[in-house]
Chain A
């Protein structure tokens, strides 16, 4: 479980160990989300994909950062042929948890070659084309397209359902039934598929009864059992006993006519679409390149400005002919040396070392205005970010019981950011553990008096009360 305030891992306590916020209510929410996820996982395992989607969406409504739920939802979408919806889930999952091998694996699976993603996209385009044909009333064209789609991705549930609906509309119930059985192999509780199957049962059930009536000389019980039987029995009996050569010939002719139509009418359109897509892609890539170039220029300028500051200050230090400033430098050489080392480390992108050097600089002893500017610039770039990083090290030392070492680290943090409340609190706690109660009280009081509305102030009050109860302070 992750703290909703600071993002750190939560322990069994009702307060976050890192930021000190009360997380008891959020833990209950996370447990509810987990329950939905577990239900979704169970349903996915028995191929109740529709049910699993509902549960996983509920889990994500409660906790959008539930990586397992999001990855499983993506996997289900992938299984059902909804490639883009799947990719969207994996991208969002990666956004919330960048170290995400499961999402990486599936994204690589979809994008392992440039042509794979393109061919998956072609399947979706074909399905959308077929849907448009169906809505225009061109059922035959839609069926041809859908058959192609299904041959490319036999698990594409929406395409299978649409094909089944078109067969039902054409009263070709036998084929419709076969297509629905394919849907139910992918998603056993697909509502539309079950609805279509019921309709077919209702419609063909009458025919079966009348057809079987003359041949069935058996009892009424036998008749009833046939009527109530599953749909599987009539399917095999119906299809295998009536081979129809004319239907096959018609089908072949239909396919040839369809293929000719596609070559004449659709291929130029598809090519045109592909060209316009590539153009849009080129424009988008051009924009991205421009953005990146602007960012590079900005970084270059920043680097040049810092380099200039560095060179100027270094020149003044090295040049003995600048009398007044040189005198000041000679008086306090260590301040400038530390500043220069900090700038040098910063330019090498070694921010931790740069921050270490920078906290050694006493700003009151620097008088060169360029050096002050350089100090301020480096401080604004480094201290906020580094203070949090160094605090983590200190907190780890504290958790390991190394209180003396933790105190040194927290001191460094407070030099970088005197308002790092957790560092103030744990400095007090470390002194408390070392039984240096006066020092502990000093830091607890600092929180209580200067930051009375913070969560840490509340905790400091609790610690003070403990000290009083134990008779350690008056």
Chain B
């Protein structure tokens, strides 16, 4: 049985243009390459 209320909760408002700047700034841009780079640096410094 489809729970209408529950399904409706899954829908989130789409981003509007004036929220774009915020979305870009808050985008988590750390990647696995960064993590590996940090680890290599840490090992080198030991």
List the interface of chain A (C-beta within 8 A of B).
Answer: 4-5, 22, 25-26, 29-30, 60-65, 81-85, 87-88, 91-92, 117, 120-121, 124-125, 127-128, 131-132, 134-135, 158, 161-162, 165, 168-169, 192, 195-196, 199, 277, 280-281, 453
Can you name the residue of chain B whose Cβ is closest to the Cβ of A135?
B8
Across the interface, do A84 and B16 meet the contact criterion of CB distance under 8 Å? yes
A65 to chain B, nearest CB (A): 8
Across the interface, do B15 and A82 meet the contact criterion of CB distance under 8 Å? yes
How many A-B pairs fall under 8 Å by CB?
A: 94
Chain B residues, Cβ within 8 Å of A127: 13-14
Across the interface, do B13 and A134 meet the contact criterion of CB distance under 8 Å? no
A321 to chain B, nearest CB (A): 60
Checking A26, A64, A280, A453 against B36 with a beta-carbon cut-off of 8 angstroms, the contacting residue is A26
Across the interface, do A88 and B27 meet the contact criterion of CB distance under 8 Å? yes
What separation, in Å, do the CA atoms of A281 and B21 have in the docked complex? 12
Can you name the residue of chain A whose Cβ is closest to the Cβ of B39?
A25
What separation, in Å, do the CA atoms of A132 and B14 have in the docked complex? 12
What separation, in Å, do the CA atoms of A277 and B19 have in the docked complex? 12
Across the interface, do A131 and B13 meet the contact criterion of CB distance under 8 Å? yes
Main secondary structure on B side of the interface with A: helix
Across the interface, do A60 and B16 meet the contact criterion of CB distance under 8 Å? no
Question: How many residues of chain B get a CB closer than 8 Å to chain A's CBs?
Answer: 27
Fill in one digit per residue for B1-26: 1 if any A CB lies within 8 Å of its CB, else 0: 01010011011011111111001100
Across the interface, do A85 and B8 meet the contact criterion of CB distance under 8 Å? no
Given contacts A84-B17, A85-B15, A199-B2, contact A63 B27 (CB under 8 A): no
Checking B4, B14, B27 against A82 with a beta-carbon cut-off of 8 angstroms, the contacting residue is B14
Chain A residues, Cβ within 8 Å of B29: 64, 92
Across the interface, do B13 and A277 meet the contact criterion of CB distance under 8 Å? no
Checking B13, B17, B36 against A128 with a beta-carbon cut-off of 8 angstroms, the contacting residue is B13
Across the interface, do B11 and A87 meet the contact criterion of CB distance under 8 Å? no
Given contacts A25-B40, A84-B23, contact A158 B11 (CB under 8 A): yes
Across the interface, do B8 and A91 meet the contact criterion of CB distance under 8 Å? no
Chain A residues, Cβ within 8 Å of B2: 168, 195-196, 199
A127 to chain B, nearest CB (A): 6
What separation, in Å, do the CA atoms of A26 and B4 have in the docked complex? 47
Across the interface, do B11 and A64 meet the contact criterion of CB distance under 8 Å? no
Checking A81, A158, A165 against B7 with a beta-carbon cut-off of 8 angstroms, the contacting residue is A165
Checking B13, B27, B36 against A29 with a beta-carbon cut-off of 8 angstroms, the contacting residue is B36
